[in-house]
Amino acid sequence: MALEKSAYTVLTVHKAFEVLEFLSGNPIDSSLQTIASKVEMTRNKAFRLLATLCESGLLEQEKPGGSYRLGMSAFSLAQKLIRNSNVISLAHPVIEQLAKKHGEAVYMTVIKGDDVLFLDMADCDQQIKAVSLIGKTFPFFTNAAGKVMKALESKESLEWIVNKKRNKSINISDPEHLVSELFEIRSNGGIAVDSGGLGEGVSSVAVAVKDYAGHVIGAITMLGPSFRFLKKRIEKEIIPSLIEGAAIASEKFGYMPA
């Protein structure tokens, strides 16, 4: 019985992809009958599948009983996939140059909900350095990368942090202080510095990377042992370099500052 259910689930997902692929070709006739015939499903099953896809926003129906077409969620998803596939290839030369210049590990990070994903890294030759964080995720409020990306979201999106119910779900101990810190990061142009959030004795500095629409798509983050990340070095060397690197990376994604 479990085997049949598993097979049915996989088949349904496969059929959903067939529907999306068919509609992505802008067919002249995208009625229920045509789609059901195209993906080899009964009208009843096809209707239920299409209703589910419409509810998720992946499809839209022109009017009750009318033709189907791709919805806004499908276009949004496609943009995200294209953008993430380019993040590593476009940003890696920049973080590699920064790593060589400063002799510290540099990462390209992206926000995933309330977490930060360390997507790519340019390593350094230092004998004492933090372990690789590639592929690892951390709550955004524990590190410079997460804070800088969240800080540059809309002001309205920051207000949820003070909601007690939300705080409880992500264990923010002092939401008021965090909100104040995020607004400070926002006001200083999007530069964040953190010590200890990624581990005892580990410091990180992050600057946001933007796309053609001015949206934050990630952050270039340099991290290493706190004894090498002295305040003077951070202010005079690391921050200026990260700002320059983030500007170069943002330009690659089509960002044009006003």
Residue 57 belongs to some domain of the structure:
yes
Q: Are residues 94 and 59 in the same domain?
A: no
Q: Are residues 96 and 160 in the same domain?
A: yes
Q: What does the pLDDT read at residue 4? A: 42
CATH code for the domain of 174: 3.30.450.40
Residues of the chain with pLDDT > 90, as a percent, come to 45
Please say which residue of 45, 70, 95 terminates a domain: 70
Q: Are residues 126 and 248 in the same domain?
A: yes
Q: Is residue 78 part of a domain?
A: no
pLDDT of residue 257: 80
CB atoms within 10 A of CB 169: 10
Domain count, the chain: 2
The per-residue pLDDT for 3 is 37
CATH number at residue 62: 1.10.10.10
> Per-residue pLDDT tens for 175-232?
778 888 888 998 888 899 999 999 999 999 999 999 988 889 999 999 999 999 999 9
Query: Do 47 and 117 share a structural domain?
Result: no
The Cα 59–Cα 35 span in angstroms is 13
Higher pLDDT: 158 or 180? It is: 180
In this structure, the answer to whether residues 9 and 115 fall within a common structural domain is: no
Q: Average pLDDT of the chain?
A: 84
* Burial category of 85 from C-beta neighbours within 10 Å (exposed 0-12, middle 13-18, buried 19 and up): exposed
Share of the chain above pLDDT 70, in %: 83
pLDDT-based confidence at residue 157 (cuts at 50, 70, 90)? low
75 assigned to some structural domain: no
For residue range 132-153, list pLDDT tens digits in order.
888 888 989 899 999 999 988 7
pLDDT at residue 83 is higher than 70: no
User: In terms of Cα–Cα distance, which of 205, 209, 210 is closest to 237?
Assistant: 205
Asked if 146 contacts 111 with a C-beta cutoff of 8 angstroms, the reply is yes
Last residue of a domain, one of 36, 70, 104: 70
Tell whether the model's pLDDT for residue 169 goes beyond 60: no
Last residue of a domain, one of 16, 46, 70: 70
Whether residue 192 lies inside any domain: the answer is yes
Domain that holds residue 7: 2-70
Cβ-contact 147, 138 below 8 angstroms: no
Let me know whether 98 and 180 are in one domain.
Answer: yes
Average pLDDT for 65-76: 82
- Taking 70 as the threshold, does the pLDDT of residue 166 lie above it? no
For residue 161, tell me if it sits in a domain. yes
Q: Are residues 233 and 166 in contact, defined by beta-carbon separation less than 8 angstroms?
A: no
Q: Identify the H or E element spanning 47.
A: helix 43-56
* Shared-domain flag, residues 238 and 166: yes
Q: Identify the bridge partners of residue 210 per DSSP, sorted by sequence position.
A: 216
Tell me how far apart the alpha carbons of residues 170 and 52 are, in angstroms, rounded to a whole number: 30
- Pairing, β 68-70 against β 216-225: unpaired
Separation of first and last alpha carbons in the chain: 61
Q: Are residues 133 and 106 in the same domain?
A: yes
Q: How many CB atoms are located within 10 Å of the residue 234 CB?
A: 18
Kindly state whether residues 112 and 51 are assigned to the same domain: no
Residue 258 covered by a domain: no
In a domain, 257, yes or no: no
| pLDDT confidence bin for 1, thresholds 50/70/90 | very low
Q: Residue 129 has which token pair?
A: 């350095």
Same domain? For 49 and 98 the reply is no
Q: What is the pLDDT of residue 2?
A: 36
If pLDDT is split at 50, 70 and 90, which confidence band does 236 have? Answer: very high
The band of 19, judged by pLDDT with boundaries at 50, 70 and 90, is very high
Q: Residue 222: which of 192, 182, 252 has the closest Cα?
A: 192
